[in-house]
Amino acid sequence: MSKIKPSKGAPYARIMGVGGYRPTRVVPNEVILETIDSSDEWIRSRSGIATRHWASPEETVAAMSVEASGKAIADAGITPQQIGGVIVSTVSHFKQTPAVATEIADKIGAIKPAAFDISAGCAGFGYGLTLAKGMVVEGSAEYVLVIGVERLSDLTDLEDRATAFLFGDGAGAVVVGPSKEPKIGPTVWGSEGDKSETIKQTVPWDDYRNGTVEKFPAITQEGQAVFRWAVFEMAKVAQQALDAAGISTDDLDVFIPHQANMRIIDSMVKTLKLPEHVTVARDVETTGNTSAASIPLAMERLLATGAAKSGDTALVIGFGAGLAYAATVVTLP
């Protein structure tokens, strides 16, 4: 018989609060057209994007995260000192170590929390949410801060006609805490590494350091391959998350997919046959693709504008580089 005492965590976990930060600079398509041969009409028709936010030098990954986190903590009705874990999903923090989560934890006033970064691209928020849920239920932390943050403008090739218009910057955060009822469903997640070349960094950092290439690394993708995968395969994953939660599309109030592209979002809605009463996040129009930050930013905007309300049942799904994905059903804070 084991002598190890069982963990004493909460029966379940829930999202208690949400916060977002968008950089002050708003960049319209006209700015993108200065470096690529395209048109505003083409960009809107292909992506649905009209504007995006680009960070200033002062709006660092850490600074944006601190702003979003402060709002999420206040929304949750707790203090920073109660945070026992900080999980940051990002691919655009350029310092390899230490994890930016430790810096953020210190700046928000948390007291010696577990703090670490994860790299799961556009699926990163879902990965972080699942880890946070496990920490709360396992009992290693009562409240966990999950942050999705990106400065993708630093990794954008403004001469690449296929991606120059896609990416934006920002940070979104949620606080995950204890619940007496299930408010975060089972996660359906995974990866398809055989397709990892469809979304990738153009060259490794050491190629740039060694002078093998002169152009700074950027994010590139095979647009059509990603589109087909997202629409057909991720709709299946979304349905699996609904099934795992024991609900149908009729039970849904809100759909918050990764804000990759308006065409992908609209196609997923059609494939899933979502009822008309379901509110669909389309934050990509004014925020662009912010990778790990896109789901919490979209969630925050829906709640702030009244398009969604506290207690609504929402399906969230992130998908992207890797190709990694994660989907779950949550109750909105």
Known catalytic residues are: 122, 258, 289
Place of tokens 């949550």: 330
3-state SS, one letter per residue, for 268-318: HHHHHCCCCCCEECCCHHHHCECHHHHHHHHHHHHHHHCCCCCCCEEEEEE
Helix (H) or strand (E) holding 188: strand 188-191
Q: Which residues pair with 149 in a beta bridge?
A: 171
CA distances from 309 to 88, 183, 271, 280 (A): 26, 15, 25, 13
Alpha carbon distance 154, 150 (integer Å) = 9
CB of 22 within 8 A of CB of 296? no
CA dist., res. 219 & res. 152, Å (int): 8
272 vs 35: CA distance, rounded Å: 37
C-beta of residue 189 within 8 angstroms of C-beta of residue 325: yes
